[in-house]
Structure 1
Amino acid sequence: MKKFFSFVLVLFTIGYASAQDDLLNQLNAEKTDVKDKEKTAFKGLQICNIQSTKMTAKGEWYMVISHRFGNLTEGLDNFFGLDNALTKIGGIYGVTDWLSLGASRHTYNKIYEVTAKYKLADQITNGFPVTIVGYNTMDINTALSTDLYPNLQFNNRLAYSTQLLASRKFSEGLSFEIGGVYVHKNLYDDAQELKDQYLVAAGGRCKLSKRLSVNLDYAYKINQLENAPLFQNPLTLGLDIETGGHVFQMVFSNSQPMNDVAVFTNATGKWNGGSLYFGFNMYRVF
């Protein structure tokens, strides 16, 4: 109604022709604003193991199923990892176009993971250069037992991660992301890790065809303990396959667990002659 009365006022004071020009200019400006916002830099909600800046749309439900099989380098002894797979199953809901909430269950340590992902800025053509997204997780480790920890309290089961991610889509075929990561554990192995850990993460996507892309992500621990070589920096190589209603990701990683806290701090494999784990992520949208 406000636009209608404004139009009538302009019509009587300036004239029909001038008002028509103003209206067309306004419509053109609105179209330009829509085009200025870049499409998402990544097709999947994850690059490989690390979160991407892609968001769920308002009202969308995603079902998530992920597997990481056992150590590939053991060969037939564990049937190339098929004998001891880890599984993640969960869901993500788009509360708004800028906020999504999720929950998942992991066979690793019988962990329940809850997540929140929120967009802070969009990459704009000829404007703001990057998309910025925040991501938070909270783990509840239900495998911990009072038999091993007689003084165990619920608070000891909790671990957290906070991530700030920035991505840029350089072209239709190339995207890159960098981020800062903070991980806190209420219960940890003080001989191998710190209670609070800080990492720098990076990842990228290179499009091979309309429905295929190769992805890579890596995180470097800034404050890793010296002389504690058990846990490695996570490095993962993946292939995205778009198949209509979902994105299927095949990955090779030195981290078998899939919850963010463990990915960043408890990767035990090595690409240079150590353990490697094959698996997949599958996201189905409803």
Structure 2
Amino acid sequence: MCNRIIIILLILGISGQSSAQDNLLDSLDTDTNATTVWPSFKGLQIVSLQSTKMVGQGDLYFVVSHRFGSLKDGINTFFGLDNATTKLGFIYGIKNWVSIGISRHTLNKTYELAFKYRLINQNENSLISLVGYNTIQISSQLDKDVYPQLSFQNRLSYTSQVLISRSLSKALTIEVIVSYIHKNVYDPIIENQKQFSIGGGGRFKLSKRLSVNAEYMYSNKPSFYRNPLSLGLDIETGGHVFQLLFTNSQGMTESSYLTNAAGDWGNGDVYFGFNLYRVF
């Protein structure tokens, strides 16, 4: 218990062995070594936002995500396929209740370090699951030729999130998310240095292998950007969880996804993409 408290404090401070493939089907709808009232999320993300599902102790996940260009551009960009952005990363379960992740995003050439930790799990004694999520993003795209006084600290941005979910039935799980983002370098004309957002999403299970997901976040952003809205389909394929999605935000780090959503669903300015998880 003491070690758990120490790790949580360390994680909060920075922001302000493997599973076999044939066992994956049994673990997709439940948190490892945790008793839940009903199954919750299949994937570690609802669509782009984090879900309350945790990586099991000793499990290593390989993550591949793509967000293509806007469908609105039509055949000129082959409906966005010419303008793809990519995220590659790994997530490791230190304990059943805490994991660490590292990833690299082609958009803005960003590196990300992430910590996810469960504080409460829904069971017979608790109505909800409560999870914390903290990230540090490092933008390697910033250039000293443009910013002569650029330091390493200027490249950093931070995200802190509280995730609260409840499985209402075998088919339906909902989640509320409160988020805070701080950027060391920002454009004050089009964005805020500090941004709060609140929203959430949910998952509706269609079958053992399929579910539909949705998420939306509202924030105190300038009018230049829009609030992110995303729809997705989870497909379980044996050794993989495959998520197909449509979103108005091309970014895949929390700071980019939540603060720089440029697409407009009403005008068909939407990005197609997917998330793919492989567990070892």
TM-score (norm 2): 0.86
Q: Does 1:283 find its partner at 2:277?
A: yes
Q: Determine which structure has more spread, i.e. the larger CA radius of gyration.
A: 1
**Alignment check: 8 A CA contact 2:34 2:121 kept:** no
**Alignment check: 8 A CA contact 2:71 2:268 kept:** no
What does residue 61 of structure 1 align with? Answer: 60
Residue number among 215, 221, 224 corresponding to 1:224 in the alignment: 221
Once the two structures are superposed, the pairs formed by residues 1-286 of structure 1 within 5 Å of their partners are 37-125=36-124, 127-221=125-219, 223-225=220-222, 229-286=223-280
C-alpha distance in 1, partners of 2:34/2:143?
A: 55
C-alpha distance in 2, partners of 1:176/1:145?
A: 42
- Tell me, what secondary structure is at the counterpart of 1:205? strand
C-alpha distance in 1, partners of 2:35/2:164?
A: 18
Q: Give how far 1:38 is off.
A: 3.0
- Tell me, what secondary structure is at the counterpart of 1:95? strand
C-alpha distance in 1, partners of 2:240/2:127?
A: 28
C-alpha distance in 1, partners of 2:37/2:197?
A: 28
C-alpha distance in 2, partners of 1:134/1:182?
A: 12
| Unpaired segments ≥5 residues, structure 1 | 1-33
Q: Give how far 1:274 is off.
A: 4.8
C-alpha distance in 1, partners of 2:254/2:186?
A: 15
**Alignment check: 8 A CA contact 1:174 1:207 kept:** yes
C-alpha distance in 2, partners of 1:92/1:36?
A: 22
Give the letter for the 1:197 counterpart. Q
- Tell me, what secondary structure is at the counterpart of 1:262? helix
What does residue 28 of structure 1 align with? Answer: none
C-alpha distance in 2, partners of 1:77/1:36?
A: 51
Give the letter for the 1:224 counterpart. K
C-alpha distance in 1, partners of 2:126/2:107?
A: 40
**Alignment check: 8 A CA contact 2:156 2:184 kept:** yes
Q: Give how far 1:40 is off.
A: 4.7
- Tell me, what secondary structure is at the counterpart of 2:48? coil
Q: Which moved more, 1:93-102 or 1:268-277?
A: 268-277
C-alpha distance in 2, partners of 1:120/1:253?
A: 30
| Unpaired segments ≥5 residues, structure 2 | 1-32
Give the letter for the 1:45 counterpart. L
C-alpha distance in 2, partners of 1:131/1:41?
A: 10
Q: Give how far 1:172 is off.
A: 1.1
Cα distance change, pair 219–184 in 1 and its aligned pair in 2 (3 A):
same
Cα distance change, pair 78–200 in 1 and its aligned pair in 2 (3 A):
same
How many equivalent pairs are there? 248
C-alpha distance in 2, partners of 1:270/1:190?
A: 22
- Tell me, what secondary structure is at the counterpart of 1:172? coil
Q: Give how far 1:273 is off.
A: 0.7
TM-score (norm 1): 0.85
Let me know the Cα RMSD of the aligned residues.
Answer: 1.3
C-alpha distance in 2, partners of 1:143/1:177?
A: 34
Cα distance change, pair 35–74 in 1 and its aligned pair in 2 (3 A):
closer
- Tell me, what secondary structure is at the counterpart of 2:230? strand
Q: Give how far 1:36 is off.
A: 5.4
C-alpha distance in 2, partners of 1:205/1:106?
A: 26
